[in-house]
Every structure is written in C-alpha cells, then in structure tokens.
Amino acid sequence: MDETTSASHEISPKRANAEPRTIEIVDTTFRDGQQSPLLFDTEKYRFSLEEKKLLLEGLIELGVTHFEFFSPVVGAAEEQDVQELIAHAQTLTHKPLLFLAHCRCNPTDIQKALEVGCNGLNLYLGVSPLAQQHNAQKSLEESVQLAQEVIGSTRQAHPDLYIRFSAEDAFRTVPDDMLRLYDAVYPYVNTFGMPDTVGLAEPEDVTATVSLLRQRYPQARLECHFHNDRGLALANVMAAVRAGVRYVDASIWGLAERSGIPSVTGVLFNLSKRYPEIAQRYNLSQCYPLNVLMASILGTLVPYTEPVSLTNRTHTAGVHQKAVLGEKKVYEAHHLHDFGVDKNQLLLGPLSGWNLIYYYLKEVENFVINKEQAKQIAQEFKGRTAEIGRHKKPEELLLEIATSHGLLRHTLPEEVPTARLENLD
Ligand code: HCA
C-alpha cells in the first residue's frame, strides 16, 4: 500500500479514528428500499416521484442528510427521479447533503451518476468465492486491478468527491481477500463498508470485522449495511456502532432486498439509548410520522415489528390493560412519546377483563355503572367471546350485553368522550 498516493480527499491522515464520535444514518429507501418484495406484494413496484418527494421531505424533517440512490444506469425513470430529488432536497434544507449513487466499479456508471448531480459514490465489488465464480466472474487479482484502476482514476479526476467502497458479501469473503482488495483502494476512499449481503453475521463477527478494519485503515471511516435474513440486523448495527462504525445504512421500515435491513427509526430509537447526542442531530419526534407516511403510501399498517409504532403501545391482555390503566410504565418501558408516538391503545377483546370493561363502559360509552355491575357484565362477555369476529366487533357484543343489563347513559356534551380517551396517555 502506497501511503504517499493518499489523495487530497476529505479524510486527512490519521483523522478518521481520532475525529469526534458522530453517528449518521445513510438512508437507502430509494435504492435498497425499492428492492423490497413488499413493493411487489402491494403492487406498487416502485415509488412514484411524488411519493419519493414526500418520503424525502419526511427524512429531511427527521434530520437525515445522506441518501443513497440507484445508479442512473438502472433505468430512465430512476435517472430522472434522482435529478428531481436532488433539486427538491436542496429547497428543503440548508444543511449539506450527500447524494450517493450506488454504483458498480464501472467508469460509465460512475460518469452517469456524477452527471445527474450525485456528490458521492457508494461503490461495490464482490470477491467472495461465490462472487468470483458466479457473480463478478473475476479472479481476486482481476478484481483488485479493476477496483484500483477505477477508484484511483475517479479520485484523481475528483479530489473532493466522497467515495465509499464495499466488498459485497463481506462476511462470506475470505478476510485476507477483502484486505487485499481494501489495501489496493485505501489511498482513494473516504469510507469502507462491510455489507452482510445475505444476513449471516452475528454481533461478535461484526465486532471482529470492525476492529480489524479500524486497525488496518485508521484514516478511513466505516459504514455498515446489514441484511435481516436471521433477524439480527439491528443487533449487528448496535455491535458495529459500539465498535466504531460511523455510517449506518437503513431505510424506512427497513425495506430492502428479501427480509430487509434495519429501519431508520428502529436504528435511531435504539442508538439514542446508548448515544443520547443523537437527539441533537436528529429530530426524533418525526420518527413515527415517517413510519405512518410509508404506511399511507403502501396502504398497509406500520409493521408490528417496528419499534416506533402504535402497536408497541397497544395492550390486549386483561392483566396488562388493568396495569396500564393504573400505571402505564408497568408495560411500557420506552419513551416512544419522544419518537412521535403520542398515545397508547387498550384494545377491547376476548382477553379483556372487568377493569377495561368498566373503564370502557363508564368513560367511553358514558354508562352509569358501578364496579359490581362491570364484573357481572364482564363475566357474561367472557362467556360469549366466541361470537366476536369479522361480523361482530367486541364493542358491539359489549354494548349488547350492557343494554340488556338495563344500563343507562349519562348525557354529556359531544366532545367529552374523545377528550377522555386522550387521558389514557
Ligand atoms: C445488494 C447489494 C448490497 C450493497 C451494499 C453496499 C448488499 O445486494 O443489493 O453497497 O454496501 O447488501 O451487498 O445491498
């Protein structure tokens, strides 16, 4: 490795490991996000430009500044959208923004990306045994030569351009092969990635890889991109950041190829527990609105696995509902309010006990009712829960029973019931 060739790019010698700790989201909703099978399941296939603009606005409101796009060579529509989105983003904030084109190590791809206005490149090339045989179909030495030539000449032509380079499928790549490749391009890059392309890494593997890269490439920043095939992507992000990674790839809802990557809001929610300074950089109250925006675009609910969701503040079991009515902290451990989830829900259903039934009939339906009556009604309700289903909601059954018990309602001004519902929070 020739240290003297270190180009005049953003990272000055010995800076990356010494610079103060900053953790940044690299949003890839417009790239890996559009590779999600959910876009096919919802028959959307791709986001329209208008939808992308809304999502971009939501991300910028949240404080995201790094956006990854497809290389323009994937198609005319994407090429046009990238240009429009870059122009639109600049009307939304004065913060410096990074528009990253996800490109192969191919001079034409790179050229096109720069022509449409991208000011950064997320370059990748795989040298795992599988990639050498079936994907890039190049030997290690051929790949090393290609990467060195392409990245070296790009750096020479664009001394200030942000360049990230990743060995695709890093966790199935022979470590010495990855280092051979990274050594060759180290003088030219700002950042190295470590994509877990097929989601097989465990947090301990991540810690080891980050430590290896930090030690060998002290001038480079590090980025992580973890797929969720084993459901470990978020845990791997936590390990990576603890070990010193700066950039975390994420997308809204974690949309990405197959079972996706970590969600932007899940990452911010989790990282902010350990690194509270994240709240200064990101406007965390915009997390839930962003998840809801995606729900409205896809026409489905925010996924129940999403930490920043109303589902995470919804209680169904009688024991939980009773406790939450008294002290919500018993079953709500996280300050989701800070992330924009500003209410909770107790769902009346087959598992509800007399406490919620009493609360519901008294506070929501305004019945004149005492606790003894509520217990009797609850007993009958529990005996008839088999009736609940698509054609009879739990509320309907309960009202039927309450009315048959001859309960009468208070007469109250119309706005009071909804106001009382809010008191739950
Ligand atoms: C993919 C490629 C990628 C790229 C990640 C990166 C991966 O499979 O679509 O460029 O860092 O997971 O390897 O998403």
Which residue blocks in 255-316 are alpha helix, DSSP H?
Answer: 264-274, 278-281, 287-298
- How far apart CA 415 and CA 397 sit, in angstroms, is 24
Q: Is 166 close to ligand 1, i.e. is its CB under 6 Å away? A: yes
Output the CA 346–ligand 1 centroid distance in Å.
Answer: 40
Mean pLDDT across the stretch 293-310? Answer: 95
Q: Is the CB of 33 under 6 A from ligand 1?
A: no
- Give the CA distances from residue 141 to residues 138, 165, 313, in Å, rounded to whole numbers and listed in that order: 8, 17, 54
Mutate to test the pocket of ligand 1, among 28, 168, 194 (most ligand atoms within 8 A of CB): 168
Structure tokens at 62: 């949240």
Q: Which of 102, 125, 206 to mutate to test the pocket of ligand 1 (most atoms within 8 A of CB)?
A: 102
Q: Is the dihedral of CA 359, 361, 365, 367 positive or negative?
A: negative
Q: Which residues lie closer than 8 Å to 119 by C-beta, 6 or more apart?
A: 98, 99, 161, 162
- φ, ψ for residue 69 (rounded to 5)? -120, 160
**For 179, phi and psi rounded to 5 degrees?**
-65, -35
CA atoms within 13 A on the CB side of 330: 11
Q: Which pLDDT score is estimated for 219?
A: 96
Tell me the C-alpha distance between 81 and 70, whole Å.
Answer: 10
Residue 68 beta carbon below 6 angstroms from any ligand 1 atom: no
Q: In percent, how much of the chain has pLDDT > 90?
A: 89
Nearest CA to ligand 1 atom 7: 197
The rounded Å distance from CA 70 to ligand 1 centre is 11
pLDDT at 15: 56
Atom of ligand 1 nearest to the CA of 257: 9
Query: What domains, with CATH codes, occur in the chain?
Result: 13-262 (3.20.20.70)
The answer, yes or no, to whether any atom of ligand 1 lies below 6 A from the CB of 32, is: yes
Chain segment 139-184, per-residue pLDDT in tens: 999 999 999 999 999 999 999 999 999 999 999 999 999 999 999 9
Tell me, in angstroms, the distance from the centre of ligand 1 to residue 45's CA: 19
CA angle 206, 178, 261 (to 5 degrees): 40
| Per-chain mean pLDDT for the chain | 92
- CA dihedral over 208, 213, 216, 221, signed as positive or negative: negative
pLDDT at 3 over 90: no
C-beta 191 within 6 A of ligand 1: no
Does any ligand 1 atom lie closer than 6 A to the CB of residue 381? no
Instruction: Single out the residue of 197, 82, 79, 189 nearest to residue 136, CA to CA.
Output: 197
Cα-to-centroid distance, 378 and ligand 1 (Å): 54
Whole-angstrom distance, CA of residue 23 vs CA of residue 33: 21
pTM of the model: 0.89
Cα-to-centroid distance, 290 and ligand 1 (Å): 24
Q: Letter for the amino acid at 3?
A: E
Contact 391, 360 (CB under 8 A): no
pLDDT greater than 80 at residue 21: no
Strands 191-193 and 162-168 turn out to be: parallel
Mutate to test the pocket of ligand 1, among 26, 28, 32 (most ligand atoms within 8 A of CB): 32
Instruction: Give the pLDDT score at 141.
Output: 95
Q: How high is the pLDDT of residue 423?
A: 44
Q: Which atom of ligand 1 is nearest to the CA of 227?
A: 12
CA angle 35, 39, 44 (to 5 degrees): 130
